[in-house]
Structure 1
């Protein structure tokens, strides 16, 4: 039996279900108190959170602050600011045949939910879904990623100190613990990670008829045309491969560039690379390292493929296998059949493929699974509109990458194989809520029209034909 402290998984889930049945998590005051406690936790323990991630993934502490801590705090503040309005029933109109009546949608919590975190942002991808689940009034089990054990231990220690122990639990462990958790009945499962594991989660949830949110990934494209501002385009593309060493589900996975834009973009990428790394090349202490050697070896197989297929090395290419580090790297004229184009890269490599025009780029993208995000670098309004209209994706971002993740008013999620469901801000609150329909019809006999009841007569049929 797997233990969570002194309680088994079954005992933990049963305890949380008992708490939920007590109705206390539905109260505004309880939800507000949990969110305030989380905010205090982030502010009072910032250094410990930074240290746990920085020492584990060799991630610069400023990057931890920017991509993890600040994003979590922003999510909490957004929920605290809007919680009362989100919780209010939403009035809706009724039809004349229901007169007099009132109708509304009541967002109620789902119950006991399970959140699986991910290793690439071990704080953010655990705690932001937790914020949404608590704001919606749920009891929550959090399972952090075992691939970031220091961050996982920190998350458990601090959440256990700050949140209501009767309504919340962190359960650590590996795949065996995840498998045990999936055998239990939850009211919602939230998972961030690979498509392969997402399918396993989905299959397990289906056996229990449990709804899921799956934040997966895929090969998110970037399209660059000749109207782009090449200086900012190059900086932002390179930034997307620098931050977290490209280990981001919404990183630009490849770039489709019009032939007229290829050489100006190359020059701008070289300039941006030297701006980012004044010593001449990226250093191991300037960028996050890769999670483990298996992942490093997978990326090195892409990096070291035959140049005729992989493409010309334009910038980067340095690596240290022992410390799981690869510099931000760009290839030019990559072939579609190259290894790097066969699966999500999830690393600091960027292949560039030339295309004739936007139409060819859109055809290339549409021939592949729906991406989690799609990026266009252009100042051509018509091209931007056509790209946004044609590409089926979780998000379209113009002239930047990744940025949309940090905006609480935008829903975050995928489509098709890149994910199911949305979170962040109000979208996250609704994901962890049941939108219960409520109708109140007058009980007065005068409004209980005989025409809707048997027996059916020709007169009743004529009246209903007009009203319906």
Structure 2
């Protein structure tokens, strides 16, 4: 199936078209939003079996479109089909199967104890939908990072509007087609378009906004949401460090770091952003790392069918500027450094002797460039990490448990992975998300279901007598004594 054939015929939803005026696409969004507001309570009262049926239909659709998803991502930034299967298809189908399996237990009331002062009552938590929610998804994993929060939102019983990234137009167009086959637009709708569309959407009074992107844009989303007292989930990013000490299995560390760093051409929010390596094993590690990159992509990565491209020229130029700035300031190219603007190609690149003040060490890289910094004592590493924003992930390779515990206890991050990297994203039993600059809120599995739910407290007085009835006005001396006894003993 050719991706060009997947372009929507619904002009009202294709906001990249120059033939549409601002008022027309705003009107289209507003009408869909209003329809979802009207239907949110009917959809919200859907049963477990009804929600599971929707998720099963979505699962069948994902599997049916597997080849089309591969083709769309190849056209957007030459993503290898096998990599699509691992990072896009499996990530979604795994989330779907996990949710289908556990949704019944998640939706059950959670009974909690009542204090003795409320004897005669029962208390429980009821998870109700937040209502109408907005999902703004990024370009680096367009299917994964659109459908994963959608799965949680549907499981929780919400209506959803999705704004995918304009940087991956083939993927956005295909997702629009797939969603329309599964859901009516009064339940789930996608609106394509540029930043102006996203800005307009964030000003609408949604009940929740789930945003994946950069911290700078996350601040704008949160500011817009605050105007409507709308809750947010922000999956952001930052500089995720990886630390390797002298006790690590260097061959395994080299293989796993190279895989995670150059997967998706480094365009991953949880990719190892920079490497701290203990000085006395630096040379051996770099030798193993270079060999591993060669085994992955051959002597000419530009010709490898498994090596992706930078998504657009703006990001290519940004990464080129980082490399040029670093090398002009004394950084040493240990590996790679080759670039081809016409192909948006940057080879797997490793730089040493990088200044901590350079853009490479101040900004999230989001590309196939790995700065390497040597250290002797862990204190200097901790000092650097603690002085900067909390990362979305932190990775440590070591066989010294005391060293590992020191890292875990003296750093703060959205997640810490020991002797591997990025795999935590695919464990649906773990919460995924950042802290402060790297994100707000959690997703995946039960954590995603609860993120799109309101945990409503329910208390029922089932016994005719209530101790609270003794503490109503007028406050006599006897009642004051009861109040004093309650404060003292209960």
Deviations 1:257-297 (A, max 9, x none): 11112122112112212222333555354311001111111
Alpha-carbon distance between aligned partners in 2 of 1:428 and 1:14, rounded to the nearest angstrom: 25
Secondary structure of 2:455's aligned partner: strand
Residues 394-413 of structure 1 aligned to structure 2 (within 5 Å): 394-413=414-433
What is the alpha-carbon distance in structure 2 between the residues aligned to residue 272 and residue 330 of structure 1?
A: 13
Match among 100, 109, 119 for residue 99 of structure 1? 119
CA deviations 1:343-390 (Å, max 9, x no partner) are: 000000000011122221111100111100001011110011111111
The answer for the alignment partner of 1:369 in structure 2 is 389
Q: In the alignment, what sits opposite 2:295? A: 275
Q: SS of the counterpart of 1:305?
A: helix
Number of the residue aligned with 1:54: 74
Alpha-carbon distance between aligned partners in 2 of 1:399 and 1:132, rounded to the nearest angstrom: 30
**From 69, 76, 82, the counterpart of 2:96:** 76
Alignment of 1:327-366 (within 5 A): 327-366=347-386
In the alignment, which residue of structure 2 is the partner of 1:417?
A: 437
Structure 1 residues 112 and 452, CA gap change in structure 2 (3 angstroms):
same
- Cα distance between partner residues in 1 of 2:400 and 2:26: 61
Matched, 1:197 2:233: no
Partner SS for 1:22: helix
Write the distance in 1 (CA, Å) between the matches of 2:166 and 2:24. Answer: 14
Alpha-carbon distance in 1 for matches of 2:384, 2:213: 25
Does residue 179 (structure 1) correspond to residue 179 (structure 2)? The answer is no
Q: 1:187 offset after TM fit, Å?
A: 0.4
Q: In the aligned structure 2, how far is the partner of 1:446 from the partner of 1:432?
A: 35
User: 8 Å contact 1:394–1:414 — kept in the other structure?
Assistant: yes
Q: Whole-Å Cα distance in 2 between the matches of residues 295 and 248 of structure 1?
A: 13
Name the structure 2 match of 1:464: 486
Deviates most, 429-438 or 276-285: 276-285
TM-score, length-scaled by structure 2: 0.92
CA distance in 1, matches of 2:191, 2:328: 48
Report 1:130-209 matches (<5 A): 130-209=150-229
For 2:3, the equivalent position in structure 1 comes to: none
Given that residues 4 and 172 in structure 1 are in contact (C-alpha distance below 8 angstroms), is that contact kept between their aligned partners in structure 2? Answer: no
- Which one of the candidate residues 244, 259, 266 is aligned to 1:239? 259
2:85 aligned with 1:65: yes
* Contact kept? 1:110, 1:187, Cα under 8 Å: yes
Check the 8 A contact 1:212/1:421 in 2, yes or no.
Answer: yes
Distance 1:254 1:164, change over 3 A: same
Following superposition, the deviation at residue 246 of structure 1 comes to: 0.4
8 Å CA contact 1:282–1:316 kept in 2: the answer is: no
Aligned residues: 468
Residue 427 (1) aligns with residue 451 (2): no
| CA deviation vs aligned residue, 1:133-188 (integer Å, no higher than 9, x gap) | 00011000011111110000000011101123331111111111112112211000
Q: Take 2:58 and 2:218, find their aligned partners in 1: how far apart are those partners?
A: 28
Distance 1:161 1:4, change over 3 A: farther
Q: Which residue of 2 aligns with 1:262?
A: 282
Aligned partners of 1:125 and 1:344: how far apart in 2?
19
Q: CA RMSD in A?
A: 1.9
Q: 1:277 to 1:10 in 2, by over 3 A?
A: closer
Q: Which residue of 1 aligns with 2:236?
A: 216
Is the partner of 1:226 in helix, strand or coil? coil
**Structure 1 CA distance for aligned equivalents of residues 358 and 462 of structure 2:** 68
What displacement does 1:101 show?
Answer: 1.0
Per-residue deviation, 1:467: 3.8
Structure 2: gaps of 5 or more residues: 1-20
Does structure 2 retain, via aligned residues, the 8 Å contact 1:302–1:310?
A: no
